[in-house]
Amino acid sequence: MIPQKLEKGDTIGVIAPSDPITEKSMIDINNSIKLLEGNGYKIKMGRYALNNEYGYSASPETKAKDINEMFADENIKMIFCATGGFNSNATFDYIDYDLIKNNPKIICGFSDSTSILNAIHEKTGLVTFHGPTFKSLTSWETDYAFKEVIKRFEIKSLELGTSDDKYVTINEGKCTGKLVGGNLSLLSRMVCGKYSINFKDKILFMEDLGYESPEGMISNYLYYMKQNGVFDQVVGIWVGNYETENNIALEDILMQVLENEYNLPIIKSNNFGHTDKKTVIPIGTMAKIDTTELTKIQLLENCVK
């Protein structure tokens, strides 16, 4: 199930399912409002987007109410998660998944949004989008993320990133499968349980933030996924941005964990993650990895209509 594309004049909703929008964050939020309004879109903030009942977060109920209301509002054509954080999974039990099935629309974010994007896709079949948060449209130094949003949602381009983006082969091979993924620390918590991800025959993409997830923690996440059969199920892996002071790459840790036990095509690029380059990756869309190609991953089907 794919959502409708954006048209000039459409209204974009903004929700805060992770950390609350702080006074400091409002500088970037307001800049993003100006950017999108200047490009012909209308912005509607969620009714509870500025709530912070707990002092570190809004309550799960109010955050979920914003999600449900945005999907129910026929005037909203796209939903942006405002910013990242730590506990968007608190909303899971309060989201109306049947409502979302009956009102499919674009929802986009990254980092902590990984939880909501994958949960909604698993429960509804709706293609969701790992891309910039609303704040990150203007909080980084370049307009790369904004251009990727317009390219994916308005122009309906299937290009992942730009022709200047570099792809590196970590392990050779070819595969096709639907994309799932996002922030590694969040993905590892969705391996089992009520809101687990179905990794069977999927292409797994992953990234993480070095200062929050040091190398030992990355190893922990990956071993947990290995011990629970994730790498027995996926058909390929796409590694994104990850930077630490020790310059140990995520793909190096991954290969240590895999220990040559899996013959999976694995590629690396720096065009998604906690970096200014944030291509928009559709979760639930068929893609192809071919390490013999210059652009080693390609979308195979439309993700908006």
Number of domains in the chain: 2
Q: Is residue 260 part of a domain?
A: yes
CA distance 141 to 136: 10
Q: Is residue 3 part of a domain?
A: no
Q: Write down the pTM of the prediction.
A: 0.97
Average pLDDT over residues 107-121: 98
Q: Is residue 159 part of a domain?
A: no
User: What average pLDDT does the structure give for the chain?
Assistant: 97
279 and 205 in a common domain: yes
Q: Is residue 91 part of a domain?
A: yes
pLDDT above 90 for 84 = yes
Q: Is residue 176 part of a domain?
A: yes
What is the domain-level CATH number for residue 82? 3.40.50.10740
Domain span including residue 252: 167-299
What pLDDT sits at residue 102? 97
Average pLDDT over residues 217-242: 98
- Of 124, 153, 182, the position where a domain reaches its end is 153
Is residue 38 helix, strand or coil?
A: helix
pLDDT, tens digit (0-9, with 9 covering 90-100), for 266-299: 999 999 999 999 999 999 999 999 999 999 999 9
- In percent, the amount of the chain with pLDDT more than 90 equals 96
- Of 119, 153, 187, the position where a domain reaches its end is 153
Q: Is residue 158 part of a domain?
A: no
pLDDT above 90 for 141 = no
139 and 22 in a common domain: yes
271 and 141 in a common domain: no
Question: Given strand 42-45, what is the order of strands in its sheet?
Answer: 42-45, 11-15, 76-81, 106-109, 128-130, 281-283
Average pLDDT over residues 174-201: 97
Q: Is residue 57 part of a domain?
A: yes
Q: Is residue 4 part of a domain?
A: no
Q: How far is CA 96 from CA 48, 71, 83, 128, in A?
A: 17, 9, 22, 16
Tokens 């002071």 found at: 245
